[in-house]
Structure 1
Amino acid sequence: MEKMINKDVEKQLRQVFGAMKEDITLVLFTQEGECYSCEETKQLLSEVAELNPHISFVEKDIHKNADEASKYNVELTPSFVVLDKEGNYRGVKFNGFPGGHEINSFISALMELSGNASEVSPEIAARIAKIDKPVNIKVFVTLSCPHCPGAVEKAHKLAMLNKNIEGEMVEAQTFYDLSTKFNVSGVPKIIINDTLELVGNQPIEAFLTQIESL
């Protein structure tokens, strides 16, 4: 099978991943039979895991491992979560193939959870810390959308900083029924707790204002 990551990109990723400080685990849920982009996602994650010893990769069948899928609130395939060095789920999830522009949000999540966390202002950190109710943030994207990774990264950052928050990328074309349910006509489209919505790569303050209104 031809490799998905070419030599030039592999060299760049090895350099980026060289800054990793802690172990992370990619847990991919797939299923037998019809599973659009499952093989591509498996191949990409497998190749990425080979680039640095801090990255581990495991594939699980969503039906045979239903309890574990439920633990991470995984209902779609392909879907994967990124676990930290303690094996904890920090609310970082990708539904669909993280290719195209979304490779940026994928790499960002890996670096953040491997000990290279970016900082937010004290004011923003305080607002995030006060969130005490379950919050789910879905960011609908397409792989050709240059503004989508920024929105995904903000959702993931919120999740990493508060255990009550879950941030997930949803590839709109792969999960067409879900996109239709939430009237996704442009991306990025952000859905919070299945009721509130934002459109575009909004600042993190906009996410917080919506969350605080729940």
Structure 2
Amino acid sequence: MEKIFNEEIISQIKELLQPMTKEVNFVLFTKEGAPTVDETIQLMSEYSQISDLINVEIVDIDQNQDLAMEYNVSLTPTIVALDSDKKDHGVRFAGVPLGHEINSLLSLTLEMGQKASSLPMDIQEKIKAIDKPTNIKVFITLGCPHCPGAVHKAHQMAMLNENIQAEMVEAQTFNALSTKYGVSGVPHIVINDSHSFVGNQPIEVFVDEASNA
């Protein structure tokens, strides 16, 4: 099977992730025969070889149902990101983060690997003030150049507030879910199954929508 990352890309990723000081742990939930599972396994296996600070555990969802329930995972493939203490911050990738979405994976790894948010302090405080369970789904396609920015904003919010779970959802892999939420253009953001908006909007819009959902 042809490798996803060639030597030039590996070198670029290593340089990008150089500021990391903490381990980032990924749990990849798979299911035999599910769409894009093989590609996701290959991606995360190769990704874990790029840095000693990246760890990947691959589990079958049918054989690890208790773990799937613990992490609130029902879709496969789903990648759960955990910090160096293996704490779950509610960050998910449902579907393979390839194409433009490799940028979402890299941004998440870099930020979690530094344990420091790049958001302004006033925005951080507003995010931390959200005091109710909040689920953010960001529907994307792999060819969408604007989607990684929206995914990363949602992930940043989840990393700052344990009430928030944020997941990238690959719209074509999970077509039934896309239909359910009326996804036509991407990025399409759905908050608590009730509020939605389209586009890589400023972080203030994400925070306001989540606060009012």
Bin the TM-score by the shorter chain: over 0.9
Unaligned runs of 5+ in 2: none
Return closer, same or farther for 1:89/1:4 CA change in 2, 3 Å cut-off.
same
Pair 1:12-2:3 in alignment: no
Structure-1 separation of matches of 2:48 and 2:135:
27
Q: Give deviations 1:116-149, integer Å, cap 9, x for gaps.
A: 6342222212211111100000000000000000
Percent identity between the two aligned chains: 50
Return closer, same or farther for 1:4/1:160 CA change in 2, 3 Å cut-off.
same
Q: Secondary structure at the match of 2:158?
A: helix
Runs of 4 or more consecutive aligned structure 1 residues displaced over 4 Å after TM superposition: none
- Which residue is 2:98 aligned to? 99
Structure-2 separation of matches of 1:116 and 1:65:
29
Contact (CA 8 Å) 1:18, 1:52: kept in 2 or not?
A: no
Under a length normalisation based on structure 2, what TM-score does the superposition of the two structures give? 0.97
Under a length normalisation based on structure 1, what TM-score does the superposition of the two structures give? 0.97
Structure-1 separation of matches of 2:19 and 2:123:
26
Counting only pairs closer than 5 Å after superposition, residues 10-159 of structure 1 correspond to structure 2 as 10-32=10-32, 34-115=33-114, 117-159=116-158
| Number of aligned positions between the proteins | 213
Q: Secondary structure at the match of 1:22?
A: coil
- Which residue is 1:190 aligned to? 189
Per-residue deviation at 1:174?
0.3
- Which residue is 1:160 aligned to? 159
Per-residue deviation at 1:17?
2.1
Q: Secondary structure at the match of 2:62?
A: coil
Q: Secondary structure at the match of 1:81?
A: strand
